[in-house]
Chain A
Amino acid sequence: MSNSAEAGGSPARSLRDRFPLAALIIERCLLSLVLLFAVSVLIFAGVEALPGDFATTYLGQSATPQAIANITAELGLDRPVTTRYFDWLGGVLQGDFGTSWASRNSVSEQVGNRLGNSLFLAGFAAIIAVPLAIGLGMLSVHFRDRMPDKIINVISLAAISLPEFFIGYLLILYFAVNFGIATFPATVYQGMGFFERIQTIALPTATLVLVVLAHMMRMTRAAILSVMSSAYMETAELKGLSSWRAIVKHAAPNALAPIINVVALNLAYLVVGVVVVEVVFVYPGMGQYMVDAVTVRDMPVVQACGLIFAAVYILLNMLADILAIIANPRLRHPR
């Protein structure tokens, strides 16, 4: 930024001054791109540094030096690291994540299917969890330090304190085994109808909702409480507004930035952090796919999963930052 300001002189600065919102957003997007590039280097280097190699694992007992050398040459592993990195990166930029070493299928195709499943589960959990968490957060501010507030807090804290696989098994035990009102395993397949799909993923969704609820709810509560002592909240009270309206209309809009950030973190968690839940419910998502790939050292798949997880994480955080910027009236409406 400073370079362009020096080179362009005052016009560059005045552009920035005139469109502070656009400038901030563009800056944030560029930063995300740089970050993503750095992550791709890290992932490649990390995978490269892993002990053990694919050929040995794949051949098992029949791993003669000759066979290993054949496979290494076949996969192009004898080329220098940098060449392989840029080959890989070039492919990724065109949407080609290479070929799986284990199954000899296109990684992109397999990932596409799995990613769709993961996003569906995460999205469905988010649609329930986010409004519920924010609503409960506002309710608990409304009833602060009274019974409903305490009940909401205790339940959500209990949910976050239990490991997610434990919650998962509890739900399976009661709802699938004892009461028989939910299905297990939650394995979805292509060609399944929408409602059937939703029914199938009810239990993993419930598990995820319980896991992310407390974090978002408590941040909403804290963020709103911190603006409750502002002078404009007193104004709202002295205008004769009801406490609920004051919270929803006057406090919440000013507490948006921290709430948006914690929601984004939890959405990211829903996509990339659900390995355990996927395994428990035998759900064919990205997490399980990556775990399988790591056990056989199927590096193209591991790299693809790592990069996609990183991209989701960076994208959601970038969106959160941009939304938080837009939520600030000072930036949205410059003087």
Chain B
Amino acid sequence: MPDTNLLSVRDLKIEATSYPPGEAPKRITIVDGVSFDLKKGKVLGLIGESGAGKSTIGLSALAYGRGGAEITGGEVKLDGTDILKLGKGGIRKLRGARICYVAQSAAAAFNPAHRLGDQVIEATVRHGLMSKAEAHKRALYLFQVLGLPNPETFGDRFPHQVSGGQLQRAMTAMALCSHPDLIIFDEPTTALDVTTQIDVLAAIKHAIEETDTAALYITHDLAVVAQISDDIMVLRHGKTVEYGSVQQIIEAPTEDYTRALVNVRQEIRHEAPDQTKALLRVDNVSAEYSNGFKVLHGVSLHLCKGQTLAIVGESGSGKSTLARVITGLLPPSEGKITFDGKPLTPSLKARPKDDLRRIQLIYQMADTAMNPRQTVRDIIGRPLTFYDGLRGAAKTARVKELLDQIEMGNGFIDRYPAELSGGQKQRVAIARALAAKPELILCDEPTSALDPLVAEGILKLLMKLQEEQKLSYVFITHDIAIVRAIADSVAVMHRGKLVRFGPKSQALSPPFDDYTDLLLKSVPEMELGWLEKVLATRRMESAGN
């Protein structure tokens, strides 16, 4: 056969109809003229921000359009056959058999009503590729290859009974079960903690090598894709920016956009020298849920005026709970919190209005923290009326001033949240916090749902506002790179305990405790072969023990 490519995509064009509120529906082009080739057993990384069309391209390899997206031009050839021309029945025979899909959130993509094992083998059995018994045997083998605990009984469990990392591996097993030629990995590690991500990445890489399957690997994290791909395609606004080997993209990018992605997150702020005058002091604070489950164990730390304290940890480490305790949403069971020299009332309800005003919050999901039926004017204006009693023209003037501060124009004042991008929504959330003229802002992962370059813009804005208004931040994140970029002091949390606290330069330098060491080593680096290196070190360490 002259064509040695397994998958060959030419001039792909994908369109959708968008329904902007208050306007006539219009056609938009999501993917425009994208072409690439994939050989058997190779991995192509698709990288870009959200809206770049990378997931849409990935799904086109299954001839599937999500949410009304339609493939309107080009061809997608699998072994020389254009799958777009196959028709419903033909494409159904390919899906789950020769081409499989691993979704971003395995937690949502598994059916909660069925056992994992049954779901893993379902497609293989339904397509008549194996008998039930053979498929179970294959699943058991894959559970072993993917390093799942108790592989013999793992398949008997329900999705809610295993962790997110295990689900993601189970989903990979589901994709591998039918011996497919091609797997689409759609951000399989994005929703995971770094310490879990590294295991899943290693498992996926190992499984791909073991089974000689080709893969499309979709992500927004260049450091991740560098560990797993042979080639990389950088996408933006549905068009190809750059397409080349991993080595070329990482070490010698030719386009400005790629360079920006490679260089994202250098240090924005230098650590403040004096960290003694505390604005916020948390003393030996413990907290528990109403069912008696203890979530914080004797945490003590402090934050100085005009500085940033970064709190890092995995999900479940108690970092968001600490923020809830500081705001008074969850009163501490022990210990006390001092703000500006005076003890804070433990419970939110009993707090004086002025204390409420001085501490504000920014959430991870700006989407869910805003009323979708209110305009930007109402959203930002509400704290103005609540705290300062502003109304009418005075309120509008102040809203406009705040919009200026967050670098958004007056034109946005009458828009609804649905008409804003993710970054713009987060900016409006920041303006709402600023409206109260706070001294301390608790930022709960405000950038983790955003693309790297957009996140960078938000971080720079926060730093600028800090300079101008002497704001203090408690910045909760799981991203070490952000900590390096913006923090003055760092607190590392693990299972409700504070394992490390101090100025950034000390906290992030050796000697490390075990957990901080693991955390720092798990952060993917923009370096070829980093994954192998870390895994090799781990093996040596475990061999040494």
Instruction: State the Cβ distance, B415 to closest chain A Cβ, in Å.
Output: 26
Q: Determine if B358 is an interface residue (Cβ-Cβ < 8 Å).
A: no
The answer to whether A240 and B126 have CB atoms under 8 Å apart is yes
A13-B291, A231-B103, A234-B66 known; A239 and B114 CB under 8 Å? Answer: no
Q: Determine if A254 is an interface residue (Cβ-Cβ < 8 Å).
A: yes
Q: Determine if A237 is an interface residue (Cβ-Cβ < 8 Å).
A: yes
| Distance between Cα atoms of A250 and B114 in the complex (Å) | 8
Q: Determine if A63 is an interface residue (Cβ-Cβ < 8 Å).
A: no
The answer to whether A239 and B160 have CB atoms under 8 Å apart is no
Instruction: State the Cβ distance, A55 to closest chain B Cβ, in Å.
Output: 58
Q: Which residue of chain A has the shortest Cβ distance to B171 in the bound complex?
A: A235
Instruction: State the Cβ distance, A144 to closest chain B Cβ, in Å.
Output: 15
Instruction: State the Cβ distance, B55 to closest chain A Cβ, in Å.
Output: 12
The answer to whether A239 and B123 have CB atoms under 8 Å apart is yes
When distances are taken between beta carbons in the complex, the residues of chain A under 8 Å from B158 are: 329-330, 333
The answer to whether B109 and A240 have CB atoms under 8 Å apart is no
Q: Determine if B94 is an interface residue (Cβ-Cβ < 8 Å).
A: yes
| Distance between Cα atoms of A143 and B126 in the complex (Å) | 22
B257-296 near A? 1/0 per residue, CB < 8 Å:
0000000000000000000000000000000000110000
Which one of A232, A241, A245 has the highest number of Cβ atoms from chain B below 10 Å of its Cβ?
Answer: A232
Q: Determine if B64 is an interface residue (Cβ-Cβ < 8 Å).
A: yes
| Distance between Cα atoms of A250 and B96 in the complex (Å) | 16
Which one of A234, A237, A240, A241 has the highest number of Cβ atoms from chain B below 10 Å of its Cβ?
Answer: A240
When distances are taken between beta carbons in the complex, the residues of chain B under 8 Å from A127 are: none
Q: Determine if A258 is an interface residue (Cβ-Cβ < 8 Å).
A: no
The one of B91, B97, B109, B112 in contact with A329, judged by C-beta atoms closer than 8 angstroms, is B112
Q: Determine if A236 is an interface residue (Cβ-Cβ < 8 Å).
A: yes
Q: Determine if A335 is an interface residue (Cβ-Cβ < 8 Å).
A: yes
Q: Which residue of chain B has the shortest Cβ distance to A330 in the bound complex?
A: B160
| Distance between Cα atoms of A335 and B161 in the complex (Å) | 5
The one of A231, A241, A249, A330 in contact with B96, judged by C-beta atoms closer than 8 angstroms, is A241
Interface residue ranges of A210-242 to B (CB < 8 Å): 230-232, 234-242
When distances are taken between beta carbons in the complex, the residues of chain B under 8 Å from A230 are: 108
User: Chain A interface mostly helix, strand, loop or mixed?
Assistant: helix
When distances are taken between beta carbons in the complex, the residues of chain B under 8 Å from A249 are: 114
The one of B105, B157, B292 in contact with A231, judged by C-beta atoms closer than 8 angstroms, is B105
B89-113 near A? 1/0 per residue, CB < 8 Å:
0011111110011010100111111
The one of A238, A242, A245, A254 in contact with B62, judged by C-beta atoms closer than 8 angstroms, is A238
When distances are taken between beta carbons in the complex, the residues of chain B under 8 Å from A235 are: 101, 103, 109-111
Q: Determine if A253 is an interface residue (Cβ-Cβ < 8 Å).
A: yes
When distances are taken between beta carbons in the complex, the residues of chain B under 8 Å from A13 are: 291-292
Q: Determine if B538 is an interface residue (Cβ-Cβ < 8 Å).
A: no
A245-B126, A253-B113, A333-B161 known; A240 and B64 CB under 8 Å? Answer: no
The answer to whether B92 and A231 have CB atoms under 8 Å apart is no
| Distance between Cα atoms of A238 and B61 in the complex (Å) | 11
The answer to whether A240 and B108 have CB atoms under 8 Å apart is no
The answer to whether B127 and A240 have CB atoms under 8 Å apart is yes
A234-B66, A335-B161 known; A241 and B122 CB under 8 Å? Answer: yes
A231-B103, A232-B108, A329-B113 known; A335 and B96 CB under 8 Å? Answer: no
The answer to whether A335 and B111 have CB atoms under 8 Å apart is no
When distances are taken between beta carbons in the complex, the residues of chain A under 8 Å from B92 are: 240-242
The answer to whether A329 and B160 have CB atoms under 8 Å apart is yes
Q: Which residue of chain B has the shortest Cβ distance to A252 in the bound complex?
A: B113
When distances are taken between beta carbons in the complex, the residues of chain A under 8 Å from B97 are: 240
When distances are taken between beta carbons in the complex, the residues of chain B under 8 Å from A242 are: 92
When distances are taken between beta carbons in the complex, the residues of chain A under 8 Å from B112 are: 232, 254, 329-330
| Distance between Cα atoms of A335 and B101 in the complex (Å) | 27
Interface residue ranges of B30-66 to A (CB < 8 Å): 62, 64, 66
Q: Which residue of chain A has the shortest Cβ distance to B157 in the bound complex?
A: A333
When distances are taken between beta carbons in the complex, the residues of chain B under 8 Å from A335 are: 160-161
Interface residue ranges of B136-164 to A (CB < 8 Å): 157-158, 160-161
Instruction: State the Cβ distance, B94 to closest chain A Cβ, in Å.
Output: 7
Q: Which residue of chain B has the shortest Cβ distance to A254 in the bound complex?
A: B113
| Distance between Cα atoms of A13 and B103 in the complex (Å) | 38
The answer to whether A236 and B66 have CB atoms under 8 Å apart is no
The one of B111, B160, B161 in contact with A254, judged by C-beta atoms closer than 8 angstroms, is B111
| Distance between Cα atoms of A235 and B92 in the complex (Å) | 13
When distances are taken between beta carbons in the complex, the residues of chain B under 8 Å from A236 are: 111
The answer to whether A237 and B64 have CB atoms under 8 Å apart is yes
| Distance between Cα atoms of A104 and B195 in the complex (Å) | 80
When distances are taken between beta carbons in the complex, the residues of chain A under 8 Å from B127 are: 240
Q: Which residue of chain B has the shortest Cβ distance to A17 in the bound complex?
A: B291
| Distance between Cα atoms of A104 and B28 in the complex (Å) | 81
When distances are taken between beta carbons in the complex, the residues of chain A under 8 Å from B103 are: 231, 234-235
| Distance between Cα atoms of A333 and B123 in the complex (Å) | 24
The answer to whether A250 and B111 have CB atoms under 8 Å apart is yes
Q: Which residue of chain A has the shortest Cβ distance to B126 in the bound complex?
A: A241
A87-122 near B? 1/0 per residue, CB < 8 Å:
000000000000000000000000000000000000
Instruction: State the Cβ distance, B295 to closest chain A Cβ, in Å.
Output: 16
Q: Which residue of chain B has the shortest Cβ distance to A235 in the bound complex?
A: B109
The answer to whether A231 and B108 have CB atoms under 8 Å apart is yes
| Distance between Cα atoms of A238 and B175 in the complex (Å) | 10
A231-275 near B? 1/0 per residue, CB < 8 Å:
110111111111001000110011000000000000000000000
The one of A232, A245, A253, A330 in contact with B110, judged by C-beta atoms closer than 8 angstroms, is A232
| Distance between Cα atoms of A237 and B291 in the complex (Å) | 40
The one of B96, B108, B110, B157 in contact with A238, judged by C-beta atoms closer than 8 angstroms, is B96
The answer to whether B110 and A240 have CB atoms under 8 Å apart is no
The answer to whether B109 and A234 have CB atoms under 8 Å apart is yes
A309-335 near B? 1/0 per residue, CB < 8 Å:
000000000000000000001100101
A234-B109, A254-B112, A333-B158 known; A240 and B292 CB under 8 Å? Answer: no
Interface residue ranges of B234-274 to A (CB < 8 Å): none
22 contacts between A and B (CB under 8 A): A10-B292, A13-B291, A230-B108, A231-B103, A232-B109, A232-B110, A234-B66, A234-B109, A238-B62, A238-B64, A239-B100, A240-B94, A240-B96, A240-B123, A241-B122, A250-B111, A250-B113, A253-B113, A333-B157, A333-B158, A333-B161, A335-B161
6 A-B pairs with the lowest CB-CB distances in the bound complex, closest first: A240-B95, A239-B96, A231-B108, A240-B96, A253-B113, A239-B123
**Given A13-B292, A240-B95, A241-B126, 18 additional A-B pairs, CB 8 A:** A231-B105, A231-B109, A232-B108, A232-B111, A232-B112, A236-B111, A237-B95, A238-B62, A238-B64, A239-B100, A240-B92, A240-B126, A241-B92, A241-B123, A250-B114, A254-B112, A333-B160, A335-B160
